[in-house]
Structure 1
Amino acid sequence: MPIVREGLKKLYFPSTVLKLVRNGPQVPAVSNILTFRVPPSMNKFDIKSYLANIYQLNILTVRTANMPAKIAGHGGNTILKRQKFKKAIVTIDGEFKWPEAPESATFGIQDAANERSRMMNRLKGWRMRPHHGLQAAKKAEEAKKAEEVKA
């Protein structure tokens, strides 16, 4: 009995990117229909085996559509084009709910704190030197203190 494989490519690690995109306005936010943007080289069997093996999803159907390149605008004498891609509409057996959007007030505060800490660690071992005018004023103050201590 021959071994039956669904996909044509062996996927050991996710080397291709499947981008989950929001469905159109006709599909509710909580449903079992997911839309992915996939590379044009992937076929239905590859998409199904990718999602089943990596994300442990139970896939019911996979529908694909090749989306053509679109003209994005004109840049002088050249015409700018968006890249062509394949759209995959996948039906799963359970319901999928999009995660809630983060609060805009707290979004990025932790990242800013981490960035400040990283920058301070980068400056460890460096000594901040005052401006030349400030150095002269500091030396004058130290000389006054030294005279006061001697007296």
Structure 2
Amino acid sequence: MPLLKEGLKKLYFPSTVLKLVRNGPSVPAVSNTLTFRVPPSMNKFDIKSYLTNIYKLNILDIRTANMPAKLAGSGGNTILKRQKFKKAIVTIDHEFKWPEAPDSATFGIQDAVNERSRIMNRLKGWRMRPHHGIQAAKKAAADEAAAAAKETTKA
């Protein structure tokens, strides 16, 4: 295995974003391989330099793959494409464990739920009136059910 040289770009204040993504389902939650989405312009040397200098990781191996743009769907007359990116699979010297899922209270989800219930309580006295035709159909069905119940009690 050849040793990697330092990257060509000096990263004093990096403006590039390396996004850590979860590995596939076949890789266990605790592993020494990490998968990143990186810009296509970065090479292995730049990725190694970035991770060692900024995050102080000891990197053993880096594998990269260019992922093509894919059709994501169409919105009317326009065709949307997923942007192309580079996937980097980095092997580090120690095991990495994904953190537990955060508590929803820390992200304000419970506040949003409370706000929605407060708004619904404010509108508690109001209700949507059904369409007149729907009301008439419901009344006719209730009348037929009452008539059927009378017939069964007489017999």
Question: When the two structures are superposed, what TM-score results if normalisation uses the length of structure 1?
Answer: 0.67
Q: Give the distance between the partners of 1:14 and 1:96, measured in 2 at CA.
A: 23
RMSD value over aligned CA atoms?
2.0
AA aligned opposite 2:57: L
Shift of 1:90: 0.1
Shift of 1:111: 9.3
Shift of 1:91: 0.1
Corresponding residue number in structure 1 for 2:87: 87
Q: Give the distance between the partners of 1:19 and 1:109, measured in 2 at CA.
A: 24
Shift of 1:100: 0.6
Corresponding residue number in structure 2 for 1:11: 11
Structure 2: 5+ residue runs without aligned partners? 112-155
Q: How does 1:94-105 map to 2 (within 5 A)?
A: 94-104=94-104
Corresponding residue number in structure 2 for 1:61: 61
Shift of 1:76: 1.5
Corresponding residue number in structure 2 for 1:134: none
**Structure with the largest fraction of helix:** 2
Shift of 1:110: 9.5
Q: Give the distance between the partners of 1:55 and 1:98, measured in 2 at CA.
A: 16
Percent identity for Structure 1 against Structure 2: 83
Structure 1: 5+ residue runs without aligned partners? 113-151
Deviation sequence 1:1-48 (CA, Å, 0-9, x none): xxxx61111111121100000000111000100000000000000000
Q: Give the distance between the partners of 2:11 and 2:50, measured in 1 at CA.
A: 7
4+ residue runs of structure 1 moved beyond 6 angstroms?
Answer: none
Residues 15 and 111 from structure 1, CA distance in 2 versus in 1: closer, same or farther, beyond 3 angstroms?
farther
2:107 matched to 1:108?
yes
Name the count of aligned residue pairs: 108
